[in-house]
Chain A
């Protein structure tokens, strides 16, 4: 008991990781729920095997002669080393085929909405394609209607990335020149965090995103708003910020619909102020975070491909940040 005491806080800390916006043990999607059940099945089976092996080892070391004779028989080797693994693995394989095969219970996308996600170094280009074929560009955040299976098409513009939202589904690679398909079906409203799960270079660890599941009516309203052009700035600071944005080279890489900014190298910023985070879930989304990102992006997210903009005065930086923040 005395030996176990120092490990108790450590165990509690470990358990803390079993919840939260990026935990596979706290599923909020149909596929993640199936993975969760399978994970617990495997964990409990492994614990049972471990306990059995410990008991057999204890029996071999400290048991009576009769016990030892029983353990050393071929029956245990054949049963535990051949029959049991074949039986258990056959059941698991059949279950895997059932989940991945044509009769799978995994939700099939109904085709009313498709989300194309392109992995870039080190951010996510997101395009919503609705049933009329309308394309709505966004970045670093995915919004989904609760309950509806949505087809997600994954590819990469440069190196191999991997798309993983543990609370919603398993991971799937994003391979240049190939499109992989995944169906996401959020079962409840809320925020989940995703992460690139394949090392893709310098800022890989900061290549994250949020998935926001919303009730169907709210999602429809949001998509309409997202499809629209950017708000025209009204305040003096915001208007000055827009002028700075359009004249300082930002538009070479970024697009803001409704303005002359039509760059396609970096993320679309039309509604950047309404997103849950900045810099692919690296910073919270507020005016000060915009300023920090523009001036000091290399410290916030080392090796990211946006050059640091230290040409602005403090006042100009505040104006530019205010303009970006009001893009909602």
Chain B
């Protein structure tokens, strides 16, 4: 009796793999955009007499939220974006790379946030 031909392994779409890998950098980009836009608009309109307080407070809050979400992405990479490869070795590799990028992104978010406390809130616009 003839053996049935093995079924080809079906991988999920590449887009979901990219999204899974880039969870950290996407969060980092979102945090940077939000913080940068808020600081620039607040300083440009000059409407806040208390910009020196409002901007660091907003940046601190945004950084705290982003850092917590990134920590979730580091400890449990499948919690934010789901991706499951049928091949076990692929899954292990993708989880490791996703974690690595999330660690780098967390560092970037903390760097961005620290600027709010080290520099003048509405300093030089270059």
A residues apposed to B, CB below 8 Å: 78, 81-82, 85-86, 89-90, 93, 97, 100-102, 171-173, 175, 178, 180-182
Contacts and interface: CB of A to CB of B under 8 A. Distances in A.
Given A82-B103, A93-B114, 9 more contacts: A78-B100, A82-B100, A93-B111, A100-B118, A100-B119, A100-B123, A101-B118, A175-B125, A181-B124
B80 interface: no
A86 B124 contact: no
A307 to B, nearest CB: 35
A173 B103 contact: no
B27 to A, nearest CB: 17
A97 B119 contact: yes
A97 B118 contact: yes
B115 interface: yes
Contacts of B123: 100
Nearest to B124: A180
Contacts, number: 34
B111 A90 contact: yes
A88 B97 CA distance: 21
11 contacts: A82-B103, A85-B104, A86-B104, A90-B111, A97-B115, A97-B119, A100-B118, A100-B119, A172-B126, A181-B124, A182-B124
Interface string B87-126: 0000000000000100110010001001100111001111
A40 B115 CA distance: 24
Contacts of A181: 124
A97 B115 CA distance: 7
B93 to A, nearest CB: 11
Contacts of A90: 107, 111
Q: Is the interface of B mostly helix, strand, loop or mixed?
A: helix
Top 9 closest pairs, chain A to chain B, by CB:
A97-B118, A101-B118, A86-B107, A93-B111, A180-B124, A173-B126, A100-B119, A101-B119, A172-B126
A97 B116 CA distance: 10
A81 B100 contact: yes
Nearest to B123: A100
A279 to B, nearest CB: 28
Task: Give the residue among B103, B104, B124, B125 with the most A Cβ atoms within 10 A.
Answer: B124
A82 B104 contact: yes
A97 B111 CA distance: 11
Interface in B47-105: 100, 103-104
A199 B104 CA distance: 35
A287 to B, nearest CB: 41
Task: Give the residue among B115, B118, B120 with the most A Cβ atoms within 10 A.
Answer: B118
Nearest to A177: B44
B19 to A, nearest CB: 21
Given A82-B103, A97-B118, A102-B120, A178 B111 contact: no
Contact of A180 (B100, B104, B125): B125
A178 B125 contact: yes
Nearest to A97: B118
A275 B44 CA distance: 37
Contacts of A97: 114-115, 118-119
Given A82-B103, A90-B111, A172 B119 contact: no
A82 to B, nearest CB: 6
Nearest to A171: B126
A172 B100 CA distance: 36
Contacts of A82: 100, 103-104
A131 B115 CA distance: 34
Given A81-B100, A82-B103, A86-B104, A173 B119 contact: no
Nearest to A162: B126
A101 B103 CA distance: 27
Contacts of B104: 82, 85-86
